[in-house]
Amino acid sequence: MSVTAVLIPPTSRRVLGILWAGVAVVLAAAIALAWFGTSAAVAQTGTNEQFLAWNARQPGVQTTASGLQYKVLKAGEGAHPTDADVALIKYKGSLRDGTVFDENERAPLPVAQVVPGFSEGLKLMQKGGKYRLWIKPELGYGDRDTGGTIPPNSVLTFDVELLEFIPMAVLQQMQMQQMMRGQGAPGAPGGR
């Protein structure tokens, strides 16, 4: 049996340089994909600060001077509620892990009597608007134990739709009139 030798010409330095440059590009791309692919998972399981820093970079998320993060899901129209108003809202509140701790289809809430981050978020909205709010602990319940399903130092996520709002004084006047009607006050329908 005979062996035939085939001569292989040497590879030029230019071709080797291109080959190594290609390997470096592929390696850099793999590292970038691994980093960006896992950054969401790291943020979800990391500290509140890591999560909020990651969340602030997501498309459409805005951060106020106080640190409230929000995203406009649907813009509303008209005026904004103030601390003197009562807002009628539809909302769902959850923790970072998705645990829903509260939701309501039609809840009247005094704007000034909710946690600071929720109040700030309501005052950004307009009637008919839908927002997602991320409330850091300092603007929520902080390190307090609420005695419910919200652990201390929790980032709260709310999906909120502003259905309507009216001044607190108008609501109180309407309630007073209703009470008077219910008691059969003089001049009231059914009254004496």
Answer whether residue 192 shows pLDDT above 50: no
Residue 7 in any domain: the answer is no
Q: For residue range 145-184, list pLDDT tens digits in order.
A: 887 889 999 999 999 999 999 998 888 888 888 888 877 6
- Start-to-end C-alpha separation, the chain: 127
Output the CA torsion 124→165→108→188 (10° steps).
170
Give me the number of domains the chain comprises.
1
Residue 35 in any domain: the answer is no
Residue 8 in any domain: the answer is no
**Residue 170 region by backbone torsions, left for phi larger than 0, else alpha for psi between -120 and 50, else beta:** alpha
Residue 46 in any domain: the answer is no
Q: For residue range 90-132, list pLDDT tens digits in order.
A: 999 999 999 999 999 999 999 999 999 999 999 999 999 999 9
List the domain range (segments joined by +) for residue 118.
60-174
Q: For residue range 3-15, list pLDDT tens digits in order.
A: 777 777 777 888 8
In percent, the amount of the chain with pLDDT more than 90 equals 59
| CATH number for the domain harbouring residue 113 | 3.10.50.40
Residue 154 in any domain: the answer is yes
